[in-house]
Amino acid sequence: MPSFPLQGSVTICEINRTLIVAEAISDDRAKDAYGKILGMVFSPIPFQPEQLGSTGENQESEHQDRNNGESVERKGLMKSLQYLVNDSIKRMFYPTCVHLLPEIDLQGVSWHQHRHIIAFISGPNQVIVRDYEDSEGKDACVLSNGAQQDIRALEWRPNGGKSLSVACKQVSKLKFLSLGGICIWAASYPGNPATVRPGAASSLGTLTRGSGGRWTLVDFLRSHSDEQTSAISWSPDGSFTYLASASCESSSFTIWDVSQGLGTPIRRGLGGISLLKWSPTGDYFFAAKFDGTFYLWETNTWTSEPWSSTSGFVTGATWDPDGHIILIAFSGSLTLGSIHFSSKPPSLDAHLLPVDLPEITTMTGSEGIEKIAWDASGERLAVSYKGGDDNYKGLVAIYDVRRTPLISSSLVGFIRGPGDNPKPIAFSFHDKFKQGPLLSVCWSSGFCCTYPLIFHSHSLP
């Protein structure tokens, strides 16, 4: 029988298909439940998701802008007019895309590929980074900068040291202008500081300090038409420094050579792009649009195959560990879709099959699937959903998944977060945690909690 957490309880972890609960979150309870098995405890990270406010840097920047004089205003006049024209065109062709962004499963939390370091969006203009391997303190580091506004997504660079990319926008000297792009942060060490890319803006190089470490803003990759960057995805081999980005206000996505700061736009179709997902092997690339179409690309020659949906637009997508299957959630369906590639890369021959999650309807009374995440073992799937009755509202469903080769699933149970009426804002798995799936959930109650999912396929004493 699936595990169900009663109201007033909080989930701690999974042990062999049983989700362990407690009256409140605490390190002591976590030590008792899984600490001896894993040899460590993942303490919850508090944050204030609704808090806004200008930092000292923002205020100083505003003061400098007021004293720049009429020369700056005259130089910016043509850019201002160009911005207004471009903005009118965007509103004409992409009138509802920005309003639909909250329905998209944008990556709001990300684990470092090889370290126990987590980053998540903790406010409209800031990111929290917490290093669980840091023995000197438990405080997290807050990354904020005037160039980093209206954050939409983030992701660690694979095989690239401690480098974090943040999809956001930058407010220009003329305050009503905004420049979409990607902030690139890198860790700095005593005697070995992170360096700003040659040719990058002189305003970069900001150092963020905290007991959780030091981070430098080393680059800002500005989108070609200044659209708000709302989706990013790294190629799996970070040594080639390829990063894909897109905007809900544009029908093209960009492949960046990050080392050079150069981007190549690629366009298919007309609709604004909702999300991007590079496959774990790097052979395939997935791009979805708000008009209900999505594209499968092979990355050898960058050839694509268009698909369309009768169940609304794509709201979430996640690859299996082998890069042969991609699970897709749609805005108008309680059933997932699974695309199976029938041949080896670079073939785009594939077929779409339904994946039913009947409990989402029968048990929760949900109105639709909201977010999905699939762990690197391929054995656990996390699903959040819209609405639901009073008992099931705001929970995250955990499924046991099998690929034989078609996908089958069975419900393990539900995760309940801390605080009053918590709802999952974002969640993601740690793909390289050796002792089993590690799911982190950012809750609307202001906590980012990590849940080890420990079962027979992994370490048990």
* Segment 313-363, tens digit of pLDDT: 999 999 999 999 999 999 999 999 999 999 999 999 999 999 999 999 899
Please write the tens of the pLDDT for every residue from 2-33: 999 999 999 999 999 999 999 999 999 999 99
What order do you get walking across the sheet with 207-208 strand by strand?
149-156, 163-171, 178-188, 214-222, 207-208
Q: Which of 79-93, 194-208, 438-452 bottoms out in mean pLDDT, i.e. has the lowest?
A: 79-93
Confidence band, pLDDT 50/70/90 cuts, at residue 225: confident
pLDDT of residue 80: 45
Q: Which of 190-194, 388-392, 422-426, 440-444 bottoms out in mean pLDDT, i.e. has the lowest?
A: 190-194
Confidence band, pLDDT 50/70/90 cuts, at residue 309: very high
Cα 41 to Cα 8, 44, 124, 138, 382: the distances in Å are: 22, 9, 29, 12, 21
Confidence band, pLDDT 50/70/90 cuts, at residue 365: very high
Tell me the one-letter amino acid at 280.
P
Closest CA to 414 of 20, 106, 41, 108: 20
CA–CA gap between residue 378 and residue 406 (Å, rounded) = 12
Please write the tens of the pLDDT for every residue from 135-164: 765 689 999 998 899 999 999 999 878 999
Mean pLDDT of the chain, nearest integer: 86
Look up the pTM and report it: 0.88
Q: 5: number of CA atoms within 13 Å, CB side?
A: 28
The residue among 210 and 352 whose pLDDT is bigger is 352
Share of the chain above pLDDT 70, in %: 83
Cis link prior to 405 (omega < 30° from 0)?
yes
At residue 57, does pLDDT exceed 70?
Answer: no
pLDDT of residue 205: 61
Confidence band, pLDDT 50/70/90 cuts, at residue 294: very high
Among 84-88, 98-102, 176-180, 305-309, which range has the highest average pLDDT?
A: 305-309
The pLDDT of 443-461, averaged and rounded, is 84
Decide the pairing of beta strands 438-443 and 447-454. antiparallel
